[in-house]
Amino acid sequence: MLLAAVAVIFGLVLLIWSADRFIDGAAATARHLGMSPLLIGMLIIGFGTSAPEMVVSAFAAVGGNPGLALGNAFGSNTANIGMVLGITALIAPITVQSNVLRREMPVLIGVTVLAGWLIFDGNISARDAWILLVLFFAVMGWSIKQGLNGEDALGLETEAEIDSHPMPLKKALIWLVIGLVLLILSSRVLVWGAVEIAEAFGVSDLVIGLTIVAIGTSLPELASAIAAIRKNEHDLALGNVIGSNLFNTLAVVGIAGAIQPFELEAAVLTRDYAVMALMTLCILLFAFRVKKARRPGRINRLEGGFFVVAYVGYLAWIIAG
């Protein structure tokens, strides 16, 4: 039991660190190979920030623990809203100004509704998984098109960040390889520890995925959001959460289901999906409500507090159940 707990803590720390190194190395390598910084922001950085969830869920599915994979995806989405957006808004109200986010938020709502329709029958089949993956690539293609048309403000922010931190090609390749290897190893350690703890306490791997693993893999998003707010880049903070939740719902669940179709616990639809969907809708209500005098929408401290309290209540619901 102690070894499993150490494995989870060590795995999470190494997972976050290695994902960061992988992103830095991949972005710098792509830059040296002549790839557009805008596309680096949307593809390399986008994949990289969701790499922990994707790799953890893939290994969980391969190891016959699909509940951990789904819990990681839905749990991370809820943590991104309740913990990441909530804490960030408590630090400083998040102003919503970018038209890009006004286009991406409805896409997230639509994807969330689709996920609910697919899991309504109590399982994720191979067909369901491939629907999610095909839609994922369609959304990526749409994002690339928007970026090439110069309409992606988030990509432009990433471009400035990459150009301000140049890295030699040799160093970039080293960090790319080291980050990828450690990302895989740390994910395997984390999955093993999480499953051992679930078995020791007699709870399902879904619960572990919704709590410990989901919170741990959402820590990079929290760090990024706080850093963005401190730089007064409010759209970047909210955009990271929207982008991450899109990746989780489409790619993370899709990859796990494509590897191994699985049945869902009853609580997934009535509790976990319902909470995730309601909190996603709250972003739309809070950030994009009609304002007088054409002032931008915002997620203020009161609404940030609501997200945090709602998330704590959700965790208590899981533990009590």
Domain that holds residue 64: 2-320
Buried b or exposed e, range 171-202, using 16+ CB within 10 angstroms: ebbebbeebbebbbebbbbbbbbbbbbbeeee
C-alpha 73/C-alpha 50 separation (Å) is 10
Position 53 scores a pLDDT of: 77
Position 293 scores a pLDDT of: 45
CB atoms within 10 A of CB 222: 20
Contacts of 315 (CB under 8 A, 6+ apart): 211
Nearest to 243 by CA among 96, 41, 36: 41
Residue 225 phi/psi, 5-degree rounding, is: -65, -45
Which segments of 202-213 does DSSP mark as H helices, in order? 205-208
| Length of the chain (residues) | 321
C-alpha 91/C-alpha 229 separation (Å) is 8
Q: What is the pLDDT along the chain (321 residues), one digit of tens a residue?
A: 788 888 888 887 887 787 777 767 776 776 777 665 555 555 555 566 667 777 778 888 888 887 888 888 899 899 999 998 999 999 888 877 656 566 778 889 999 999 999 999 989 999 999 999 999 989 888 776 766 665 554 555 555 555 555 678 788 888 878 887 887 788 778 778 887 887 787 778 788 888 888 887 787 777 777 766 776 766 667 777 888 888 889 998 999 899 989 888 888 989 999 999 999 999 888 876 555 445 556 788 999 999 999 999 999 999 887
Cβ pair 118, 4 in contact under 8 A? no
Q: Which residues pair with 198 in a beta bridge?
A: none
Distance separating the N- and C-terminal Cα atoms of the chain: 22
What token pair was written down for 68?
Answer: 């951990």
C-alpha 67/C-alpha 160 separation (Å) is 39
Nearest to 188 by CA among 5, 15, 3, 34: 15
The number of folded domains in the chain is: 1
The enclosing domain of 247 has a CATH number of 1.20.1420.30
CB atoms within 10 A of CB 126: 12
What token pair was written down for 143?
Answer: 């994002």
Taking only the tens place, the pLDDT of each residue in 86-106 is 999 998 888 776 565 667 788
Position 236 scores a pLDDT of: 67
Q: Which residues pair with 94 in a beta bridge?
A: 299
What token pair was written down for 246?
Answer: 């899109």
- Asked whether the whole model's pTM tops 0.85, one would answer no
